[in-house]
Amino acid sequence: MTSPAPSSRPPRAELHVHLEGTLEPDLAFELAARNGVELPYPDPESLRAAYDFADLPAFLDLYTANMAVLRTEADFADLTRAYLVRAARAGVRHAEISFDPQAHLVRDVPLEAVVGGITGVLERAEADHGISTLLIAAFHRDKPVADALDVLERLLAMDAPVVGIGLDNAEIGYPPGLFADLYARAETAGLRRTAHAGEEGPAANVRDALDLLHAERIDHGIAVVQDPALVARVAAGQVPFTVCPVSNVRLRAVPSLAEHPLPDMIAAGMLVSVNSDDPPYFGAYVDDVDDAVTAAFDLSRDQRAALAAASFEGSFLPRDRVAAYL
């Protein structure tokens, strides 16, 4: 997809993007060659052709397998830089980027290489790309909470510049309550808290993320529309929801963009932003997602501006920094 120059778009933030999910097939092959890793595809086009997913677990299988090419600090730096270059073209002025530390530790990639590679580039993101950034450590809900707690303690001990934590991977069968101890530790440590909930799972997962994890923000959360009382609650509290409509269609959480609950969430007065999730896997960076949503719901210029403002309002930036962007 082609994208117009950033100046034609309102400035926006991106709050829901997985760094590992920004790995383009071309870069995957470049890193594979650099690291002597064999990918089970002959070329980048064949890999991209495999990006057709039956559901979230099917996507996670390929997403995880492709991480085999990420081995060194330089790899994580290159991955981070590539996302920032593309995000700047999309008009992104502030990005809150998640990464999956456990996915790399199980492959014996040192945490220092992961964090060092990412943060070395993020430190220069404002100067080099015109994008302020915050980093979120996301934990795998299909792994034991003890494992997540161990990694969180390591991040705290090394004083990793993370603003907060998230919870991702397969949702069905792994309710939020399993991670209450992790979120309590993060809260004590002064970290911000977001969690994937209500992506494939029920509205109860959104409620439990709020009540049991003290999540301040919800990633996806589209199942909330199944529970009108919960919709009223999150609208009244202006809980930010980072919605990824193209991802939801590509992972078949909703049948089509036209049937996506985004307009209902907005109409209910919820604080909703539009995000990409894993752009190359779903064929859409955040400007492409904006365009798709604008076309599907015939959004007016004012409605697009309101969504762009909500992307900053839902951020973990201090309020004076948010105000400066609006």
Q: Give the interface with Zn ion as residue ranges (CB under 5 A).
A: 277
What does 140 interact with, of Zn ion, ligand ADE, none (CB < 5 to 8 A by kind)? none
Could you count the other beta carbons within 10 Å of the beta carbon of residue 318? 9
Residue 46: which region, alpha, beta or left (left: phi > 0; alpha: psi -120 to 50)? alpha
The residue at minimum Cβ distance from ligand ADE is 168
Binds ligand ADE by CB under 6 A, chosen from 6, 21, 164, 198: 21
Q: Which of 170, 248, 172, 167 is nearest to 212 (CA)?
A: 167
> Hey, which residues between 274 and 313 contact ligand ADE (CB under 6 A)?
277-278
Nearer to ligand ADE, 19 or 111 (CB): 19
Cβ 49 to ligand ADE, closest distance in Å? 20
What does 199 interact with, of ligand ADE, Zn ion, none (CB < 5 to 8 A by kind)? ligand ADE
Q: Among residues 14, 20, 24, 199, which one is catalytic? A: 199
Written as one string, the DSSP assignment of 230-245 is: HHHHHHHTT-EEEE-H
CA separation for the pair 10, 103 (Å, rounded): 35
104 has binding-site annotation:
no
Kindly state whether residue 199 participates in binding ligand ADE, applying the rule CB under 6 A: yes
Binds ligand ADE by CB under 6 A, chosen from 22, 169, 276, 315: 169
CA separation for the pair 145, 151 (Å, rounded): 10
278 has binding-site annotation:
yes
What does 169 interact with, of Zn ion, ligand ADE, none (CB < 5 to 8 A by kind)? ligand ADE
Nearer to ligand ADE, 168 or 287 (CB): 168
CA separation for the pair 122, 96 (Å, rounded): 11
Q: What are phi and psi of 141, to 5 degrees?
A: -75, -15
Is residue 20 part of the annotated active site? The answer reads no
Q: Would you give the binding string for ligand ADE spanning residues 205-224, x where CB under 6 A is met?
A: --------------------
Cα–Cα distances in angstroms (integers) from residue 146 to residues 87, 153, 216, 285, in the given order: 35, 11, 22, 34
> Would you name the residues annotated as active-site residues?
199
